[in-house]
Chain A
Amino acid sequence: MYGYEITQTVKELTGGKIQLTEGALYPSLHALEAEGILITESEFIGKRMRKYYSLSPEGKTITKEKLSELADFMNTMKILLDLKTSI
């Protein structure tokens, strides 16, 4: 996925509730690339270059870890706050 595509996808998936700003998106993408979590492929569209981002194998495991951490955290918060929600 390239940058613009990411912002549009996020917008679509959240029904417009989360709009990634360019000022937040690109710095994060560059940092994640430098850390080896993302790998990139470049393609020329006419005169301009488009960079496609995807998760590296290492990035995939880290994502899994972080997601399970988040789920854990959310479970804990649910217990702590004793939420009586019906999701």
Chain B
Amino acid sequence: MYSISDQQIAFILNDIRRNGVEMEDLQSNLLDHICCIIENQLEENGDFEQFYYQTVCTFYIKNLSEIEEETKALLNNKYYYTMKKIMFVSGSVSASLISIGILFKFMHWPGAGMLIVLGTVLFSLLFLPMLFTIKSKEKQNLKDKIILGTGSFIAILISLAILFKIMHWPGANMMGVISLLTMILLYIPLYFFSGIKNQDSKANTIITSILMVAGCGLFMALARAPYASRIMSIKDTGNYLRMEQIYQAEKKQVDNLKVSVVQKKEVASTGDDIIRSCDALKSDILEWQTGFKTVDQDFERKNALIVDGWVRIYFEDNESARQKLADLRKLVVKYNAGQNKADSNPVHAVPLDAIDFDSSEEKILCALNNLVQLQMIVLQNESASGMKR
């Protein structure tokens, strides 16, 4: 049995370090291992150095640092499996959350928004990044990694854009446009030209590229172009203008009638208040939308258009507007009560739920038309009671 001196131990440790083994744990393990072999197999007066080099040669194929590389690969592998597990779990959870959320949304059950937001956030901010990290480890060259990175980025952006769109959050359109443009101008060409060079992946690349182009096209077909939006706004504004003109004509007739017949004072005054209140609200909403208090024949040239949107937004952070709406509601309640007392048939009650603009999903055009309809109902009631006399 050979006995190793401290000097020789230092020599071995040095050699291990010099050969690229950096992990201390591994260094001491190898040192002890080599010492054991030397102690057990070298004769007492054998050549230490020669035997050492012979032994250490059997540890590797090219280089001693192979052992360290292998160790590191195995240690990383552990995270690899955990990450794969997280990816599968987050993927399946987000997919089911989104599906259940969409079912809830279709059925108008409460909680749909939360389910969809949770599912999409999980999908785009956990599942997709995980997928990217795991897949990029499998790719060897930088180009493939870049393509994969761009693809993941676009996928994240598209899913977030759709989430923002359905939740009516700001910035959705911007995100959608950016993601689609990068996809069409950058990702698809990169993917196509890198994949088509490789004989094995040629057919697959062509098919996938066609699918992506068609998908983008269909997605774009869903979006409304600015030009189409303008046409729609012109139609909407025209619709309101006609409504307003019909109302004005009716008002003139009733006013003429009023002059000749003495009205029942009480009901008439509440009716007048409703008409005035509606007028005020109409002009407020119009001013918010078009910049003008009224709509006239020239609206298209002046670009004074009513845009497709929710009227609720106007009332959201406008205390005085909400107050005006509340006052109108009170007037309507009072008017309806007065009408009942007056029992002058045939009169219509003014519908109260047609003006809950601050809480319902009412479009701007619908809200304006509802206000006009309210006024016309009041006018009809007045003219009906006027005829009776």
Contact = CB atoms under 8 A, between A and B. Distances in A.
B66 A23 contact: yes
Given A27-B67, A27-B70, A27-B71, A22 B78 contact: no
B29 A51 contact: yes
Interface residues of A, number: 22
Interface string A22-52: 1110111111001100000000011111110
Contacts, number: 69
Interface stretch (B32-40, B104-112, B177-185, B193-201): B32-40
A24 B6 CA distance: 28
A73 interface: no
Interface in A50-74: 50-51
A4 B9 contact: no
B60 interface: yes
Contact of B78 (A26, A27, A28, A35): A35
Contact of B59 (A22, A35, A47): A22
Contact of A30 (B6, B25, B32): B25
B370 to A, nearest CB: 67
Contact of A22 (B6, B9, B33): B33
A2 B35 CA distance: 13
B30 A31 contact: no
A22 B32 contact: no
B77 interface: yes
B32 A2 contact: yes
B163 interface: no
B74 interface: yes
A14 interface: no
B9 A31 contact: no
Interface of B: 6, 9-10, 23, 25-26, 28-33, 35-37, 58-61, 66-67, 70-71, 73-75, 77-78
